[in-house]
Amino acid sequence: MVTGIIGRKVGMTQLFSEDGTVCPVTVIKAGPCVVVQAKDAARDGYEAVQIGLVEERPAKVTRAVGGHYKKAGVPPTRVRREVKLAKASEAMKAGDQVMVSIFTAGDRVDVIGTSRGHGFQGVVKRHNFGGGAATHGSMFHRAPGSIGASSYPSRVVKGMRAAGHMGSERVTTRNLRVERIDADNHLLMVRGAVPGADGGYLIIRKAVAAKPVRVPQVEKPKGKK
Protein backbone atom coordinates (compact mmCIF):
# COMPACT_ATOMS: atom_id res chain seq x y z
CA MET A 1 0.00 0.00 0.00
CA VAL A 2 1.20 3.50 -0.76
CA THR A 3 1.96 5.91 2.07
CA GLY A 4 0.78 9.11 0.39
CA ILE A 5 -1.63 10.75 -2.01
CA ILE A 6 -1.88 13.97 -4.05
CA GLY A 7 -4.58 16.51 -3.25
CA ARG A 8 -5.71 20.11 -3.64
CA LYS A 9 -6.39 22.52 -0.80
CA VAL A 10 -10.07 23.51 -0.67
CA GLY A 11 -9.99 25.83 2.35
CA MET A 12 -10.46 25.96 6.10
CA THR A 13 -13.54 25.41 8.21
CA GLN A 14 -14.58 24.18 11.66
CA LEU A 15 -15.78 20.88 13.06
CA PHE A 16 -17.87 20.58 16.19
CA SER A 17 -17.59 17.53 18.43
CA GLU A 18 -20.40 16.06 20.47
CA ASP A 19 -19.37 18.01 23.57
CA GLY A 20 -19.34 21.30 21.61
CA THR A 21 -15.57 21.59 21.21
CA VAL A 22 -14.55 23.52 18.09
CA CYS A 23 -11.75 22.11 15.94
CA PRO A 24 -10.21 24.15 13.08
CA VAL A 25 -9.57 21.93 10.06
CA THR A 26 -8.29 22.22 6.52
CA VAL A 27 -10.37 20.52 3.84
CA ILE A 28 -8.31 18.77 1.17
CA LYS A 29 -9.65 17.04 -1.91
CA ALA A 30 -7.29 14.06 -1.88
CA GLY A 31 -7.36 11.96 -5.02
CA PRO A 32 -8.48 9.98 -6.78
CA CYS A 33 -5.01 9.11 -8.02
CA VAL A 34 -3.74 6.51 -10.46
CA VAL A 35 -0.42 4.69 -10.52
CA VAL A 36 1.62 5.80 -13.53
CA GLN A 37 4.84 3.91 -12.86
CA ALA A 38 6.00 1.34 -10.31
CA LYS A 39 9.64 1.15 -9.22
CA ASP A 40 11.26 -1.86 -7.55
CA ALA A 41 14.51 -2.46 -5.73
CA ALA A 42 15.92 -4.84 -8.34
CA ARG A 43 15.69 -2.37 -11.24
CA ASP A 44 15.64 1.08 -9.62
CA GLY A 45 17.30 0.47 -6.26
CA TYR A 46 14.26 1.37 -4.18
CA GLU A 47 10.53 0.70 -4.00
CA ALA A 48 8.10 3.50 -4.81
CA VAL A 49 5.28 4.39 -7.16
CA GLN A 50 4.65 7.43 -9.32
CA ILE A 51 1.05 8.55 -9.03
CA GLY A 52 -0.96 11.14 -10.93
CA LEU A 53 -3.92 13.19 -9.72
CA VAL A 54 -7.08 12.60 -11.75
CA GLU A 55 -8.91 15.90 -12.31
CA GLU A 56 -12.00 17.08 -14.15
CA ARG A 57 -10.09 19.04 -16.79
CA PRO A 58 -8.08 17.02 -19.33
CA ALA A 59 -4.34 17.55 -19.15
CA LYS A 60 -2.24 18.73 -22.10
CA VAL A 61 1.18 17.07 -22.19
CA THR A 62 4.12 16.92 -24.57
CA ARG A 63 4.67 13.98 -26.89
CA ALA A 64 7.42 12.56 -24.66
CA VAL A 65 5.31 12.75 -21.52
CA GLY A 66 2.32 11.39 -23.44
CA GLY A 67 4.38 8.34 -24.31
CA HIS A 68 5.10 7.81 -20.64
CA TYR A 69 1.37 7.68 -19.90
CA LYS A 70 0.63 5.59 -22.97
CA LYS A 71 3.10 2.96 -21.79
CA ALA A 72 1.27 2.82 -18.45
CA GLY A 73 -2.14 2.68 -20.16
CA VAL A 74 -3.58 5.59 -18.17
CA PRO A 75 -4.82 9.03 -19.28
CA PRO A 76 -2.40 11.97 -18.84
CA THR A 77 -2.55 13.93 -15.58
CA ARG A 78 -1.49 17.48 -14.87
CA VAL A 79 0.35 16.58 -11.65
CA ARG A 80 2.33 13.49 -10.78
CA ARG A 81 4.44 12.75 -7.72
CA GLU A 82 6.44 9.86 -6.34
CA VAL A 83 5.48 8.30 -3.01
CA LYS A 84 6.94 5.43 -1.03
CA LEU A 85 5.38 2.06 -0.35
CA ALA A 86 4.70 0.76 3.12
CA LYS A 87 6.99 -1.97 4.39
CA ALA A 88 5.94 -5.55 3.61
CA SER A 89 3.14 -4.31 1.36
CA GLU A 90 1.96 -5.81 -1.90
CA ALA A 91 3.55 -4.54 -5.08
CA MET A 92 1.47 -2.16 -7.16
CA LYS A 93 1.28 -1.88 -10.93
CA ALA A 94 0.44 0.85 -13.41
CA GLY A 95 -3.27 1.57 -13.53
CA ASP A 96 -4.00 0.82 -9.86
CA GLN A 97 -6.06 3.45 -8.06
CA VAL A 98 -5.06 5.29 -4.88
CA MET A 99 -7.98 6.65 -2.89
CA VAL A 100 -8.35 8.75 0.24
CA SER A 101 -9.41 5.60 2.10
CA ILE A 102 -5.72 4.81 2.72
CA PHE A 103 -6.14 7.13 5.74
CA THR A 104 -8.45 6.75 8.72
CA ALA A 105 -9.64 9.22 11.32
CA GLY A 106 -6.99 9.64 14.01
CA ASP A 107 -4.00 9.06 11.73
CA ARG A 108 -1.03 11.42 11.82
CA VAL A 109 0.02 12.85 8.47
CA ASP A 110 2.63 15.20 6.99
CA VAL A 111 1.38 17.73 4.44
CA ILE A 112 3.83 19.07 1.84
CA GLY A 113 3.05 22.10 -0.28
CA THR A 114 4.32 25.40 -1.68
CA SER A 115 3.95 28.36 0.65
CA ARG A 116 2.25 31.59 -0.40
CA GLY A 117 4.43 34.00 -2.32
CA HIS A 118 5.00 37.48 -0.84
CA GLY A 119 7.30 38.93 -3.50
CA PHE A 120 10.35 41.05 -2.60
CA GLN A 121 10.27 41.96 1.11
CA GLY A 122 12.56 43.74 3.52
CA VAL A 123 14.28 42.33 6.58
CA VAL A 124 11.54 43.41 9.01
CA LYS A 125 8.87 41.29 7.35
CA ARG A 126 11.10 38.58 5.94
CA HIS A 127 13.28 37.93 9.00
CA ASN A 128 11.36 39.65 11.81
CA PHE A 129 14.02 42.30 12.45
CA GLY A 130 13.05 44.77 15.14
CA GLY A 131 13.97 47.94 13.27
CA GLY A 132 15.05 51.21 14.79
CA ALA A 133 13.36 53.88 16.85
CA ALA A 134 10.28 55.53 15.37
CA THR A 135 10.65 58.91 17.16
CA HIS A 136 13.18 61.43 18.52
CA GLY A 137 14.57 62.28 15.10
CA SER A 138 15.71 58.78 14.28
CA MET A 139 16.33 58.16 10.59
CA PHE A 140 16.92 54.44 11.04
CA HIS A 141 13.57 52.61 10.87
CA ARG A 142 13.40 49.47 8.71
CA ALA A 143 16.94 49.29 7.34
CA PRO A 144 19.02 46.09 7.87
CA GLY A 145 21.95 47.81 9.60
CA SER A 146 25.56 46.64 9.35
CA ILE A 147 26.19 43.59 7.17
CA GLY A 148 29.90 43.11 7.93
CA ALA A 149 33.24 44.73 8.79
CA SER A 150 35.23 46.74 6.27
CA SER A 151 38.79 45.72 7.18
CA TYR A 152 38.20 42.03 7.86
CA PRO A 153 36.85 39.89 6.26
CA SER A 154 36.16 42.67 3.70
CA ARG A 155 33.19 40.78 2.30
CA VAL A 156 29.64 39.84 3.17
CA VAL A 157 29.54 36.47 4.92
CA LYS A 158 27.45 33.80 3.21
CA GLY A 159 24.02 33.32 4.75
CA MET A 160 23.67 36.94 5.84
CA ARG A 161 19.98 37.69 6.37
CA ALA A 162 18.91 40.40 3.95
CA ALA A 163 15.97 41.58 1.90
CA GLY A 164 14.85 39.34 -0.94
CA HIS A 165 12.14 37.10 -2.32
CA MET A 166 9.83 35.75 0.36
CA GLY A 167 7.63 32.68 0.16
CA SER A 168 6.96 30.26 -2.72
CA GLU A 169 9.04 27.59 -0.99
CA ARG A 170 8.48 23.90 -0.36
CA VAL A 171 7.11 23.60 3.19
CA THR A 172 6.29 20.49 5.21
CA THR A 173 3.82 20.65 8.10
CA ARG A 174 4.27 17.58 10.26
CA ASN A 175 2.08 15.51 12.56
CA LEU A 176 -1.36 16.83 11.67
CA ARG A 177 -4.25 14.74 12.90
CA VAL A 178 -6.85 13.41 10.48
CA GLU A 179 -10.21 14.45 11.92
CA ARG A 180 -12.67 13.20 9.31
CA ILE A 181 -12.78 11.50 5.91
CA ASP A 182 -15.49 11.73 3.24
CA ALA A 183 -14.61 8.87 0.90
CA ASP A 184 -17.57 9.50 -1.41
CA ASN A 185 -16.40 13.05 -2.21
CA HIS A 186 -12.65 12.32 -1.82
CA LEU A 187 -12.34 14.81 1.04
CA LEU A 188 -9.77 14.71 3.82
CA MET A 189 -10.03 16.99 6.85
CA VAL A 190 -6.93 17.55 8.95
CA ARG A 191 -6.56 19.59 12.11
CA GLY A 192 -4.84 22.94 11.70
CA ALA A 193 -3.43 24.82 8.72
CA VAL A 194 -1.41 23.51 5.77
CA PRO A 195 1.00 25.34 3.42
CA GLY A 196 -0.15 27.25 0.37
CA ALA A 197 -3.19 29.07 -0.93
CA ASP A 198 -6.59 27.59 -1.71
CA GLY A 199 -6.45 25.49 -4.84
CA GLY A 200 -2.76 24.63 -4.41
CA TYR A 201 -1.48 21.10 -4.88
CA LEU A 202 -0.41 19.13 -1.81
CA ILE A 203 1.17 15.81 -0.95
CA ILE A 204 -0.38 14.08 2.05
CA ARG A 205 1.70 11.24 3.46
CA LYS A 206 1.65 9.17 6.61
CA ALA A 207 3.72 10.90 9.29
CA VAL A 208 7.38 9.97 9.13
CA ALA A 209 7.96 10.63 12.84
CA ALA A 210 4.51 10.55 14.42
CA LYS A 211 4.38 11.97 17.92
CA PRO A 212 2.56 10.01 20.63
CA VAL A 213 -0.95 11.15 21.41
CA ARG A 214 -1.10 13.02 24.71
CA VAL A 215 -3.99 12.05 26.96
CA PRO A 216 -4.97 14.76 29.48
CA GLN A 217 -4.68 13.60 33.07
CA VAL A 218 -7.35 14.47 35.62
CA GLU A 219 -5.84 15.69 38.89
CA LYS A 220 -7.36 14.37 42.07
CA PRO A 221 -8.53 16.90 44.66
CA LYS A 222 -6.12 17.45 47.55
CA GLY A 223 -6.89 15.49 50.68
CA LYS A 224 -8.51 12.56 48.86
CA LYS A 225 -6.85 9.29 48.08
* Cis omega (within 30 of 0) for bond into 75: no
pLDDT tens profile 49-108: 899 998 888 888 889 888 988 888 888 999 989 888 887 777 788 888 889 888 998 889
The whole-chain average pLDDT of the chain stands at 88
Q: State how far the Cα of 174 lies from the Cα of 179, in Å rounded to an integer.
A: 15
Q: Could you give the C-alpha distances from 167 to 55, 115, 189, in angstroms and in order?
A: 27, 6, 25
Please determine, for residue 223, whether its predicted confidence score (pLDDT) is greater than 70. no
- How confident is the model at residue 225, as a pLDDT? 59
Give percent above pLDDT 90 in the chain. Answer: 44
Asked if pLDDT for residue 202 goes beyond 90, the answer is yes
| φ/ψ bin of 9: left (φ > 0), alpha (ψ from -120 to 50), beta (otherwise) | beta
Pick from 27-31, 39-43, 98-102, 157-161: least confident: 39-43
62 vs 67: CA distance, rounded Å: 9
Find out whether the peptide bond into 216 is cis, omega within 30 degrees of 0. Answer: no
pLDDT in tens, 10-24: 999 999 988 888 999
